[in-house]
């Protein structure tokens, strides 16, 4: 299930952990979404806001939701657009980051944002949407515990803009933290079991995952064996991963996997472009990989991407198992 959802509707009616209020600096209510939230929450919200002593532009503060379906309201003050001369873009991004900081600190799992600063504050809607989407998506790659972010659009124009931004959003991010390593290990188990059991059998799949794709094994490869791992995110969901290692003048593409439900969404092409760019920066002459001889679908996919079969490679991987592969190469 996608972690980002775009809807057109009334944010005060949403049954989420928290909704965001596009407030003014006083936090004492106003027009637009601010006034609607105060009316729906009841007078208790104003009393709570009076105790917060206002809020600076680009910052955020939290109160209970009172009579709203949501448990919390996170109040943030967006910038007034002045032709981009007063750090408006930076301040709008800060609004989203500060709201998400509060989300993380309070164990909030689901949140809905309005289109901050795009009403009477005059921020251009396409630029505001891009800032919002990219800031939220970047946060989600580091905080998988956040289950759902809703962009709740009041008008048809914003709804259309957000939906266009939402199409096929892909991020490829280097794996460095223990949390990211755990995500890769989870993907590896899922992908190997959904794709390779019919090719090499359950027993060998279990051995491969435990020996070479567990969190401990991946951490060892990163820290001791000079492998780099990258997570592929599609619409903020971990949807695949890449592992590479420079070996002489060749970049070895050790692993390049996409989850079953995400195949056909362009992740393979984007992943290959990403690997090619790295290879060129490293002055590699070719990208090489190995693929099981019976993995016909992957062989055809790599062939379509421009890889050429350069021969057989048979490897003893332990426990009585052998990998019978083709070596394939993409010349740069």
Range of the domain at 215: 172-331
191 shares its domain with 107: no
Q: How many residues does this entry show for the chain? A: 332
The residues annotated as belonging to the active site are: 34
| 89 pLDDT higher than 90 | yes
R_g of the chain computed on alpha carbons: 24
Give the pLDDT mean for 91-120: 97
pLDDT value of residue 208:
94
The enclosing domain of 56 has a CATH number of 3.40.220.10
263 burial via Cβ count (<10 Å: 0-12, 13-18, 19+): middle
Give me the number of domains the chain comprises.
Answer: 2
Q: What is the pLDDT of residues 139-160, one digit of tens each?
A: 988 888 899 999 999 899 999 9
Find the CATH number of the domain harbouring 228: 3.40.630.30
Burial 114-134 (b: 16+ CB within 10 A, else e): bbbbbbebebebebbbebbbe
Same domain, 37 and 62: yes
Place of tokens 């027009």: 31
- Do 102 and 201 reside in the same domain of the chain? no
pLDDT, position 166: 64
Do residues 306 and 233 both lie within one domain? yes
Within this chain, do residues 18 and 58 fall inside the same structural domain, yes or no?
yes
DSSP-derived letter for residue 80 is P
What predicted TM-score, i.e. pTM, was given to this entire model? 0.71
Sign of CA dihedral 150, 151, 154, 156: negative
Q: What mean pLDDT do residues 38-45 have?
A: 97
Average pLDDT, the chain: 94
CA-nearest of 97, 94, 105, 57 to 78 is 57
pLDDT of residue 1 exceeding 50, the answer is no
Domain identity same for 214 and 98: no
């Amino acid at each position: 299930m996608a972690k980002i959802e775009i809807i057109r509707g009334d944010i005060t009616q949403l049954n989420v952990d928290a909704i965001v209020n596009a407030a003014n600096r006083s936090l004492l209510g106003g027009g637009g979404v601010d006034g609607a939230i105060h009316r729906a929450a009841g007078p208790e919200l104003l009393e709570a806001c009076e105790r917060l002593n206002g809020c600076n532009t680009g910052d955020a503060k939290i109160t209970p939701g009172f009579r709203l379906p949501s448990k919390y309201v996170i109040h943030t003050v967006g910038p007034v657009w002045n032709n981009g001369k007063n750090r408006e873009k930076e301040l709008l991004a800060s609004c989203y980051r500060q709201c998400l900081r509060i989300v993380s600190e309070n164990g909030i799992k689901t949140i809905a944002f309005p289109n901050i600063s795009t009403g009477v504050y005059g921020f251009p809607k396409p630029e505001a949407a891009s800032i919002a989407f990219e800031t939220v998506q970047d946060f989600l790659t580091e905080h998988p515990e956040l289950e759902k972010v809703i962009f709740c659009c009041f008008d048809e124009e914003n709804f259309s803009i957000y939906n266009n931004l939402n199409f096929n959003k892909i991020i490829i991010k280097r794996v460095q933290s223990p949390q990211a390593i755990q995500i890769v290990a989870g993907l590896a188990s899922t992908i190997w079991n959904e794709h390779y059991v019919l090719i090499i059998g359950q027993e060998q799949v279990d051995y491969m995952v435990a020996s070479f794709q567990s969190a401990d094994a991946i951490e060892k490869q990163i820290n001791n064996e000079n492998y780099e791992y990258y997570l592929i995110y599609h619409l903020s969901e971990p949807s695949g991963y890449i592992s590479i290692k420079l070996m002489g003048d060749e970049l070895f593409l050790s692993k390049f996997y996409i989850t079953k439900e995400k195949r056909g969404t362009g992740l393979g092409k984007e992943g290959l472009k990403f690997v090619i760019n790295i290879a060129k920066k490293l002055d590699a002459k070719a990208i090489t990989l190995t693929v099981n001889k019976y993995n016909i679908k992957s062989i055809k996919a790599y062939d379509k991407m421009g890889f050429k079969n350069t021969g057989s490679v048979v490897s003893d991987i332990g426990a009585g198992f052998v990998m019978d592969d083709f070596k394939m190469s993409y010349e740069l």
